[in-house]
Amino acid sequence: MMNKPYNNGLWDWDADLFHPDICGFTYLIIAPNGRWYIGRKVTRTKHGKMAGYRNYKSSCKPLLVDIGKLGIENFKFIVLGVWEHRNYLWYQEVKEMMASDALIDPNSYNNNAPSIYVPPKNTKGRRRDESVIDLLRKHT
Protein backbone atom coordinates (compact mmCIF):
# COMPACT_ATOMS: atom_id res chain seq x y z
CA MET A 1 0.00 0.00 0.00
CA MET A 2 1.28 3.47 -0.88
CA ASN A 3 1.86 6.01 1.85
CA LYS A 4 -0.49 8.97 1.57
CA PRO A 5 0.98 12.48 1.97
CA TYR A 6 -1.88 13.28 4.39
CA ASN A 7 -3.49 11.73 7.46
CA ASN A 8 -7.28 11.47 7.48
CA GLY A 9 -7.31 9.08 10.42
CA LEU A 10 -10.32 6.76 10.30
CA TRP A 11 -11.81 8.38 7.19
CA ASP A 12 -11.71 6.94 3.65
CA TRP A 13 -11.22 9.83 1.20
CA ASP A 14 -8.77 10.40 -1.63
CA ALA A 15 -7.40 13.78 -0.49
CA ASP A 16 -6.49 15.71 2.65
CA LEU A 17 -9.60 16.64 4.65
CA PHE A 18 -7.76 19.54 6.34
CA HIS A 19 -7.56 21.88 3.38
CA PRO A 20 -8.11 25.67 3.21
CA ASP A 21 -11.10 25.21 0.88
CA ILE A 22 -12.86 22.64 3.07
CA CYS A 23 -14.90 23.45 6.19
CA GLY A 24 -16.13 19.88 6.71
CA PHE A 25 -17.43 16.64 5.28
CA THR A 26 -20.51 14.44 5.17
CA TYR A 27 -19.98 10.80 5.99
CA LEU A 28 -21.35 7.28 6.13
CA ILE A 29 -20.40 4.82 8.87
CA ILE A 30 -21.19 1.16 8.20
CA ALA A 31 -21.26 -1.33 11.08
CA PRO A 32 -20.39 -5.03 10.67
CA ASN A 33 -23.98 -5.88 11.67
CA GLY A 34 -25.32 -4.05 8.58
CA ARG A 35 -26.48 -0.93 10.42
CA TRP A 36 -25.36 2.48 9.16
CA TYR A 37 -25.27 6.18 9.98
CA ILE A 38 -25.05 9.42 7.99
CA GLY A 39 -23.52 12.48 9.61
CA ARG A 40 -21.33 15.53 9.17
CA LYS A 41 -18.08 16.73 10.71
CA VAL A 42 -16.44 20.14 10.66
CA THR A 43 -12.69 19.90 9.99
CA ARG A 44 -11.78 23.55 10.47
CA THR A 45 -12.87 25.93 13.22
CA LYS A 46 -14.13 29.41 12.42
CA HIS A 47 -10.60 30.62 13.21
CA GLY A 48 -9.00 28.20 10.73
CA LYS A 49 -7.62 25.75 13.27
CA MET A 50 -7.95 22.00 12.86
CA ALA A 51 -11.01 20.48 14.53
CA GLY A 52 -10.61 16.97 15.96
CA TYR A 53 -11.89 14.94 13.01
CA ARG A 54 -9.26 12.26 12.35
CA ASN A 55 -10.45 9.92 15.10
CA TYR A 56 -13.99 11.25 15.32
CA LYS A 57 -16.49 8.39 15.48
CA SER A 58 -19.88 10.15 15.69
CA SER A 59 -22.13 11.75 18.26
CA CYS A 60 -24.78 9.03 17.86
CA LYS A 61 -24.90 7.21 21.21
CA PRO A 62 -26.28 3.83 19.96
CA LEU A 63 -23.59 3.79 17.27
CA LEU A 64 -20.87 4.56 19.82
CA VAL A 65 -22.14 1.69 22.00
CA ASP A 66 -21.88 -0.69 19.03
CA ILE A 67 -18.39 0.58 18.19
CA GLY A 68 -17.40 -0.27 21.78
CA LYS A 69 -18.97 -3.73 21.56
CA LEU A 70 -18.01 -4.72 18.01
CA GLY A 71 -14.59 -3.01 17.75
CA ILE A 72 -13.79 0.11 15.78
CA GLU A 73 -11.61 -1.86 13.35
CA ASN A 74 -14.76 -3.62 12.06
CA PHE A 75 -16.50 -0.39 11.00
CA LYS A 76 -16.12 1.46 7.70
CA PHE A 77 -15.77 5.25 7.88
CA ILE A 78 -16.52 6.69 4.42
CA VAL A 79 -16.48 10.36 3.43
CA LEU A 80 -19.42 11.12 1.13
CA GLY A 81 -18.36 14.64 0.18
CA VAL A 82 -16.37 17.69 1.25
CA TRP A 83 -17.88 21.17 1.47
CA GLU A 84 -16.51 24.68 1.74
CA HIS A 85 -19.33 26.35 3.70
CA ARG A 86 -21.00 25.29 6.97
CA ASN A 87 -24.55 25.90 5.74
CA TYR A 88 -23.90 23.74 2.69
CA LEU A 89 -22.39 21.04 4.91
CA TRP A 90 -25.63 20.93 6.99
CA TYR A 91 -27.73 20.96 3.81
CA GLN A 92 -25.79 18.07 2.26
CA GLU A 93 -26.11 15.95 5.41
CA VAL A 94 -29.91 16.26 5.36
CA LYS A 95 -29.99 15.70 1.59
CA GLU A 96 -28.04 12.42 1.97
CA MET A 97 -30.34 11.34 4.81
CA MET A 98 -33.48 11.98 2.78
CA ALA A 99 -32.10 10.36 -0.40
CA SER A 100 -31.32 7.14 1.50
CA ASP A 101 -34.44 7.09 3.75
CA ALA A 102 -32.13 7.17 6.77
CA LEU A 103 -34.91 8.22 9.15
CA ILE A 104 -37.22 5.32 8.30
CA ASP A 105 -34.81 2.50 7.41
CA PRO A 106 -34.67 0.11 10.40
CA ASN A 107 -30.95 -0.52 9.74
CA SER A 108 -30.11 3.17 10.07
CA TYR A 109 -28.91 4.61 13.37
CA ASN A 110 -30.24 8.04 12.31
CA ASN A 111 -33.32 9.04 14.31
CA ASN A 112 -33.56 12.76 13.57
CA ALA A 113 -32.53 15.32 11.00
CA PRO A 114 -30.73 18.55 11.88
CA SER A 115 -32.01 21.98 10.99
CA ILE A 116 -31.55 22.87 7.35
CA TYR A 117 -29.84 26.14 6.55
CA VAL A 118 -30.06 27.86 3.19
CA PRO A 119 -26.81 27.09 1.40
CA PRO A 120 -25.06 30.09 -0.15
CA LYS A 121 -25.14 30.35 -3.91
CA ASN A 122 -22.09 29.13 -5.84
CA THR A 123 -20.84 27.04 -2.92
CA LYS A 124 -18.28 24.50 -4.00
CA GLY A 125 -17.68 21.00 -2.87
CA ARG A 126 -16.90 17.55 -4.15
CA ARG A 127 -18.98 14.42 -3.73
CA ARG A 128 -18.10 10.75 -3.98
CA ASP A 129 -19.44 9.13 -7.18
CA GLU A 130 -21.29 6.33 -5.37
CA SER A 131 -24.57 7.01 -3.58
CA VAL A 132 -25.21 5.91 -0.01
CA ILE A 133 -27.36 3.06 -1.32
CA ASP A 134 -24.53 1.91 -3.64
CA LEU A 135 -22.01 2.06 -0.79
CA LEU A 136 -24.30 0.04 1.49
CA ARG A 137 -24.73 -2.63 -1.19
CA LYS A 138 -20.98 -2.75 -1.68
CA HIS A 139 -20.00 -2.92 2.02
CA THR A 140 -22.77 -4.96 3.66
How does pLDDT run across 13-38, given as a tens digit for each residue?
999 898 888 899 999 999 999 999 99
Domain boundaries defined on the chain = 24-139
Tell me the pLDDT tens digit for each residue of 51-92.
888 899 999 999 999 999 999 999 999 999 999 988 889 999
| Global pTM exceeds 0.75 | yes
Measured CA to CA, the distance from residue 51 to residue 45 in angstroms comes to 6
With beta carbons less than 8 A apart as the criterion, state whether 26 and 38 touch: yes
The phi and psi torsions of 125 (rounded to 5 degrees) equal -175, 180
With beta carbons less than 8 A apart as the criterion, state whether 43 and 125 touch: no
End-to-end CA distance of the chain: 24
With beta carbons less than 8 A apart as the criterion, state whether 132 and 140 touch: no
Beta partners for residue 25, in sequence order: 41, 82
